[in-house]
Structure 1
Amino acid sequence: METRVRRKTPPVRSLADVAMGRAWTIEETQPDDRKALFEAYLAAARLGKMEAMTNVGLHFLYGDGVRRDPKRSRMWTEKAAALGDDVAAFNLGLAYYFGRGVRKNKGLAEAWYRLAAARGFAVAEGNLVDILFASPEAHQLKEAVRIYRKYARQGDPVATYNLGLAYEQGKGVRKSLKRANAYYETSAKGGYADAQLALGYNYSNGVGLPTDAMRAFGWFRLAAKQGSAKASFNLGLMFANGEGVPVSKARAMRHFREAANLGHVRAARWLRKLEKA
């Protein structure tokens, strides 16, 4: 049975989703006018306009309306951050985390994310916790759990799933499969596919739960409907091997094909195997 997703946090949100959204949707600008928009932001930035400095940094980073220049991007972004811009601080965290125009430095990324979060940019805390949960340091793991717990109490299904993951792995808390599965179930009922996949796996393999193929099938099916390749693969295995469901080559192939189309290598192998049978 395919193991479940071990993603610690949701994917880091892109600049386009966060910072650019705040700054670049102020006015709708056609592609042909991007150079003029950049020049307008640059003029405002030179006059000390903080948000314009952040925007100029983004234009230089993406080469939008100007030649791409990561060093100038960092310079303008640092100017904006020094003036107190929360988005600029977040952008610097991303720069150091991914090595955009600078050398990768998780320590500096953490520092900038903390500053952005302290200034009220909530998204930064989500990126910060990604660093904390990957740390071998006990105090950072405990801080990550505190952040997950805070958002889980607000009903965030992703944070709830991550809290379950912390309990299953014993990271930042005492290991408890019972609590892990309880958090997975809450998250899964909130519609989070990774939690549905985790429950399917745990019911299938008896991880802190009684082995129950039908419940496993139900959770895998929900996750597969949301595009989970691993869930589709597991459904294929269940139909191929008759685990909790009648053996069905046709249904197994359908689910393997779904998973293979999503890039699942083992599913593609199973599909070829069944096609030759």
Structure 2
Amino acid sequence: MDYFEGLHGKQKDVNKAIEEFKKLANENKNSMAMYQLYICYDQGIGVDKNIEEAFSWLKKAAEDVNNAEANFKLGIHYQIGKYVEENQKLAFEYFEKASLRNHVIAQLSLAYCYEIGNGVVSSSAEAMRWYSLAARYIDRGGVKAYPGMGRLFHYGIGITKNDQEALRMFRQAAQYGDPRGYSFLGLCYQHGTGVNKSMQKAIRYYRQATENNGMEGPLYLGICLLDGLGMNINEKKAAKYLSLSSKR
């Protein structure tokens, strides 16, 4: 890594770094070196981009159950069918391996798999458990667990429906600036879920979601402008927001 990033007084030399990665990977079976080789071949850093070589190194790196990042990334490949045939069951299995090593984003992915039954039998209880575990690590992306838990309480599928608890989760997410937290709060005020209806507050939260780079915020603002919900109909502005949403 020293040559790869120019650390500890060593001049950055990607070619030399790749040589070291290959030596560590082949001679020491070092999974971190294997993962770095995956990145190099996947992105064409210091070598020609080669998807077969990239995926091969990623699979080797993921054989180390302690390499949570490699297992999570392999799960993503199977989930979206990148370099390999889509396989939701395998995606779930790799997310689970990474989650057991406290990979927070993997825990969020695993929770969502349980929530919608993707690669596994749906289970709101398991989804809630993994969202709750991820929520402990706000600084590592765990804030995204709060909208997930809020959804579970809101829809009450497999657990007791509780709009007040859903609202609390959405507010918790919004407190940390999460755009989906703002969007869900907006929906609550628009439809009167756990609160008195208020299009004024709904639009305010949609705007905050938009300002925080959310996808749903501009979508809902666009719909409000098209239908005249809390605002005057303005098709030109609506098109602007809908276009913004599609780009995020």
Amino acid paired to 1:223: A
What CA distance in whole angstroms lies between the structure 2 residues aligned with 1:35 and 1:217?
A: 53
If asked which structure has higher relative contact order (CA below 8 Å, sep 6+), I would say 1
Aligned residue runs from structure 1 range 1-277, under 5 A:
25=5, 27=7, 33-50=13-30, 51-86=32-67, 87-135=69-117, 140-152=123-135, 156-228=142-214, 230-232=216-218, 234-235=220-221, 247=232, 255-256=237-238, 258-260=240-242, 262-263=244-245
Q: Kindly report the root-mean-square deviation, in angstroms, between the aligned alpha carbons of the 2 structures.
A: 3.5
Q: Look at both structures and tell me which one has the larger radius of gyration over its CA atoms.
A: 1
- Judged with a 3 Å threshold, the aligned counterparts in structure 2 of structure 1 residues 72 and 132 are, in CA distance, closer, same or farther, namely same
State the 1:243 CA deviation. 5.3
Provide the identity percentage: 23
SS at the partner of 2:84? coil
Deviations 1:63-101 (A, max 9, x none): 332233333333333333334441332232222222233
SS at the partner of 1:209? coil
Tell me if structure 1 keeps the 8 A contact 2:108–2:144: no
- Judged with a 3 Å threshold, the aligned counterparts in structure 2 of structure 1 residues 142 and 212 are, in CA distance, closer, same or farther, namely same
State the 1:145 CA deviation. 1.1
What CA distance in whole angstroms lies between the structure 2 residues aligned with 1:91 and 1:188?
A: 28
Q: Which moved more, 1:115-124 or 1:45-54?
A: 115-124
- Judged with a 3 Å threshold, the aligned counterparts in structure 2 of structure 1 residues 37 and 261 are, in CA distance, closer, same or farther, namely same
Count of residues in correspondence between the two structures:
238
What CA distance in whole angstroms lies between the structure 2 residues aligned with 1:77 and 1:139?
A: 28
SS at the partner of 1:211? coil
Structure 2 unaligned segments of length 5 or more: list them: none
What CA distance in whole angstroms lies between the structure 2 residues aligned with 1:227 and 1:147?
A: 25
TM-score by length of 2: 0.75
What CA distance in whole angstroms lies between the structure 1 residues aligned with 2:189 and 2:165?
A: 15
Tell me if structure 2 keeps the 8 A contact 1:197–1:231: yes
TM-score by length of 1: 0.69
What CA distance in whole angstroms lies between the structure 2 residues aligned with 1:240 and 1:81?
A: 48
What CA distance in whole angstroms lies between the structure 2 residues aligned with 1:184 and 1:223?
A: 12
- Judged with a 3 Å threshold, the aligned counterparts in structure 2 of structure 1 residues 67 and 261 are, in CA distance, closer, same or farther, namely same
Q: Hey, what does 1:275 align to over in structure 2?
A: none
Amino acid paired to 2:25: A
What CA distance in whole angstroms lies between the structure 2 residues aligned with 1:91 and 1:232?
A: 30
Amino acid paired to 2:50: D
